[in-house]
Amino acid sequence: MSGYGPSGWDGTPHGSSQGWDPNGAYGQPYGYGPGYGPNAGYGPGTGYGPPGMPQRPASMTNAIIALVCNCLVVLSCCNVLAIPGIITGALAVQRVERQPESARSLTMWSWVIFGVTTVLAIILIAILIAADVGSDPDPGYYGDGI
């Protein structure tokens, strides 16, 4: 006869224990059922919250375009500040397959460098134009003969 009395300690018939195992072989500890504890509302095994935002895989196309844009800035504007953008773009192209997180970060930095160097080139051109607008040309330059 198992149990704790004629009808068991919890009112069940003799010998049934309703999932209670003194060795803890099955069942969850108190407070960890559905709706309780760290997995509350998210199903079993999901940790302390909903899953994060899914990450897109690193794009080889994006890294190549960033590399080409930085090369064009260096060649067209003689902007040597874009050389780190070329380096980060080339490293991103190399790492797309092996280290996608690193490639994504390097591609982002390559675009940031491209943007900063482009803005600096535009500001420099605007300053040079503004400095030249106020200057008077040499009166003898236009062939007045004076």
Return the CA Rg of the chain. Answer: 36
Summarised one tens digit per residue, pLDDT across range 14-65 is 555 555 555 555 555 555 555 555 555 555 555 555 666 666 666 789 999 9
Exposure of 73 by Cβ count < 10 A (0-12 exposed, 13-18 middle, 19+ buried)? buried
With cut-offs at 50, 70 and 90, classify the pLDDT of residue 128: confident
Q: What angle do CA 22, 24, 28 make, to 5 degrees?
A: 125
| Whole-number Å distance between alpha carbons of 85 and 67 | 7
75-96: burial string, b at 16+ Cβ within 10 Å, e else: eebebebbeebbbbbbbbbebb
Distances in Å between the Cα of 63 and the Cα atoms of 108, 111, 113, 115, 118 are 9, 9, 13, 15, 18
Q: How far is Cα 4 from Cα 15, in angstroms, rounded to an integer? A: 9
pTM, two decimals, is 0.54
Confidence at 80, pLDDT banded by 50, 70, 90: confident
